[in-house]
């Protein structure tokens, strides 16, 4: 009898192992109340946000504080929809991710966007509106400079500008990093022409020792496509090089990471200007890939960064499924745009939410700019000619 019982128990254990686990997950199409929306948003942020190991936001406390508040709201009330947007803004106000943006689409109120890092910037004493520098800086360039435009596949207009200053300094700027796409596009376009001219000028720096150096202007540059990092910075070096570290999510656990791995830039040619003097111009709207370009070039021995402290959005945004981290949506109500990986500098610092502190700080002066005077560009020229 005992033997029979033990066999039955053993078999039941084996069959039990085939049983599926039960998980409480909010189904996307079943979001019918604010508490469902809250549960889905909270758990997805918990699983997909990549800065939980260093972010000061107490996400567990947010769960305890806000769940009951959302539970008290009616999803069919315009007033409560506005209150919910306010709660979401409060919950996310201290997130450090410089890319984080939450687009809210409720049917009874106007669509709205929550941007925690932009809200924090607006409170800074040196906050200013974005400024387009190309109009001023083209007056610094020698005759023969090239300015070009390109409309991307996603219908965004990108501009680029290159030329020489005083015949001995090469200057390059672009409004956004979509250079590879423009360069690879069939036929001719303005940005492609600018880039070809820039490559020619880089060749001059490499062989002509009478050239003082290079200015790369990434002010008011919000970043762009990741392949542009190696495509653009790779033009300056003949060998691959490490410029920092990356950390990726491994699973749904909030701090389930790979550990730090080398962030490498691949060489894009045989030229090397890494020993030339290079100045990178930045401002508080230098963001994302533009910040990574500045950090990468700053690893060269004779390079410096001049301008304002940058935005602080150095994590990378990618296809949300690649690392099962980063951007996601909550039903038809919320679209959350957020980083999918962490970046740190060669010195081991994560500057997300803080930005790059320039080697030489130069304040933004709109009055002078409107008079055609660019003190940041002037400082760069002075440093190169020292």
Residues of the shown chain interacting with other proteins in the complex, contacts defined by CB under 8 A: 2-3, 6-7, 9-10, 13-14, 16-17, 20-26, 39, 42-44, 46-48, 63, 153, 180-181, 226-227, 229-230, 246, 248, 250-255, 258-259, 261-266, 316, 318-319, 321-324, 328, 340-341
Gap between the Cα atoms of 51 and 149, Å rounded = 36
Cβ-based nearer residue to other proteins, 318 or 368: 318
Cβ-based nearer residue to other proteins, 9 or 207: 9
Cβ-based nearer residue to other proteins, 40 or 309: 40
Instruction: Specify the 3-state DSSP secondary structure of 115.
Output: coil
List alpha helices for 138-234, DSSP H: 179-184, 190-207, 227-233
The nearest distance, CB 97 to other proteins, in angstroms, is: 16
Closest among 265, 211, 214, 267 to 242, alpha carbons compared: 265
Cα dihedral value 129, 134, 136, 140, nearest 10: 140
The nearest distance, CB 37 to other proteins, in angstroms, is: 12
Contact 46, 25 (CB under 8 A): no
The nearest distance, CB 22 to other proteins, in angstroms, is: 8
Cβ-based nearer residue to other proteins, 28 or 74: 28
Cβ-based nearer residue to other proteins, 312 or 315: 315
Gap between the Cα atoms of 117 and 94, Å rounded = 8
The nearest distance, CB 133 to other proteins, in angstroms, is: 27
Cβ-based nearer residue to other proteins, 260 or 383: 260
The nearest distance, CB 265 to other proteins, in angstroms, is: 7
The nearest distance, CB 282 to other proteins, in angstroms, is: 20
Work out the number of other CB atoms within 10 angstroms of the CB of residue 364.
19
The nearest distance, CB 358 to other proteins, in angstroms, is: 23
In this structure, are strands 101-104 and 112-114 parallel, antiparallel, or unpaired? antiparallel
Cβ-based nearer residue to other proteins, 156 or 262: 262
Query: Which residues, in sequence order, are CB contacts of 216 under 8 Å at separation 6+?
Result: 172, 173, 278, 279, 280, 281, 293, 294, 297
Cβ-based nearer residue to other proteins, 165 or 313: 313
How many secondary structure helices (H) and strands (E) does the chain include? Answer: 12, 14
The nearest distance, CB 345 to other proteins, in angstroms, is: 14
Contact 72, 65 (CB under 8 A): no
Gap between the Cα atoms of 126 and 231, Å rounded = 33
Local structure of residue 241 (DSSP, 8 states):
E
Gap between the Cα atoms of 59 and 56, Å rounded = 9
């Amino acid at each position: 009898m005992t033997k029979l019982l033990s066999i039955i128990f053993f078999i039941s254990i084996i069959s039990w192992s085939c049983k599926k686990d039960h998980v409480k997950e909010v189904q996307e199409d079943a979001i019918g109340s604010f508490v469902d929306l809250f549960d889905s948003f909270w758990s997805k942020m918990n699983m997909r946000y990549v800065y939980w190991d260093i972010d000061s936001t107490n996400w567990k406390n947010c769960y305890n504080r806000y769940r009951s508040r959302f539970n008290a709201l009616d999803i069919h009330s315009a007033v409560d929809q506005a209150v919910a947007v306010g709660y979401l803004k409060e919950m996310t106000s201290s997130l450090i991710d410089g890319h984080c943006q939450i687009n809210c689409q409720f049917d009874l109120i106007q669509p709205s966007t929550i941007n925690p890092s932009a809200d924090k910037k607006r409170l800074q004493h040196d906050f200013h509106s974005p400024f387009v520098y190309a109009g001023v800086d083209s007056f610094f360039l020698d005759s023969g400079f090239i300015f070009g435009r390109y409309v991307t596949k996603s219908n965004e207009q990108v501009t680029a500008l290159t030329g020489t200053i005083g015949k001995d300094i090469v200057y390059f700027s672009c409004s956004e990093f979509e250079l590879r796409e423009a360069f690879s596009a069939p036929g001719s376009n303005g940005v492609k022409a600018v880039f070809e001219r820039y490559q020619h000028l880089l060749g001059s720096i490499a062989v002509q020792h009478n050239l003082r150096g290079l200015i790369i202007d990434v002010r008011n540059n919000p970043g762009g496509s990741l392949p542009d990092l190696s495509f653009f910075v790779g033009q300056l070096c003949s060998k691959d090089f490490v410029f920092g570290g990356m950390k990726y999510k491994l699973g749904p656990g909030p701090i389930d990471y790979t550990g730090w791995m080398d962030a490498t830039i691949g060489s894009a040619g045989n030229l090397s200007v890494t020993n030339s003097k290079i100045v990178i111009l930045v401002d508080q709207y230098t963001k994302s890939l533009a910040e990574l370009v500045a950090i990468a070039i700053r690893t060269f021995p004779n390079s410096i960064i001049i301008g304002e402290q940058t935005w602080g959005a150095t994590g990378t945004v990618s296809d949300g499924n690649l690392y099962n981290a980063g951007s996601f949506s909550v039903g038809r109500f919320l679209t959350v745009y957020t980083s999918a990986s962490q970046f740190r500098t060669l010195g081991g610092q994560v500057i997300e939410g803080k930005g790059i502190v320039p080697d030489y700080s130069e304040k933004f002066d709109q009055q002078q700019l409107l008079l055609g005077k660019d003190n940041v560009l002037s400082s760069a020229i002075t440093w190169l000619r020292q």
